Amino acid sequence: MGQWWWKLRRGQIFTLDFIVAFILVNIVLLSTVVTWDAIVRKTQEDMHMNEMTYASERASENLISAGGEPFNWESDPENAKAVGLADERGILSQTKINALETLDDDADELLDFRSRLGSGNYKVYIRITNTTGHLKGEAGELPQGDTIINNRKIATMGNQLVQLDVTIMAKSNETTVVEVA
């Protein structure tokens, strides 16, 4: 009795079958797109943070291990090609620290200041303190709620230990603070 109905149906798709299949395919496609977008966004954030961490590490290492270019750049800070604070690796010069503080006096010099430090396009703030927290020198732009990477190095100056903090900042929608020791 019911066989004539099955013979008519053979090879054809019912509207309900098509709608269910169409909805399922769209759900799978939509979830794939959303997942892909989240993965791409996270990868870009990680790449940005890695780039900032590298810039912070490079700037702090240049400051603590090199004397700058030319080596006596502190006698003519405006013509320094590269800034370094070391008389020799790990031993900082107060004269170079004082000269560093004069480099960031006006806004036009800040971009040049960044390139001399090797920090790329990121804002940079340098703070040098002794172990009791007494300020020995600072330069650059103060951190202001942006994406922040702080890199701390230990060196000597005179006969005491000092901390060199290099903070790299970039604009972002969220505040992220990362400490690199």
32-41, 62-71, 91-100, 137-146: which range is least confident on average? 137-146
Model confidence pLDDT, tens digit, residues 168-181: 887 544 444 444 44
pTM (two decimals): 0.67
Integer Cα distance of 161 and 90 in angstroms: 10
Domain-wise residue ranges, the chain: 50-180
Q: 32 pLDDT band (50/70/90 cuts)?
A: very high
Model confidence pLDDT, tens digit, residues 3-26: 655 555 555 566 778 888 899 999
Cβ-proximal residues to 122 (8 Å cutoff; 6+ apart), any chain: 52, 55, 114, 168, 169, 170
55-69, 103-117, 143-157: which range is least confident on average? 103-117
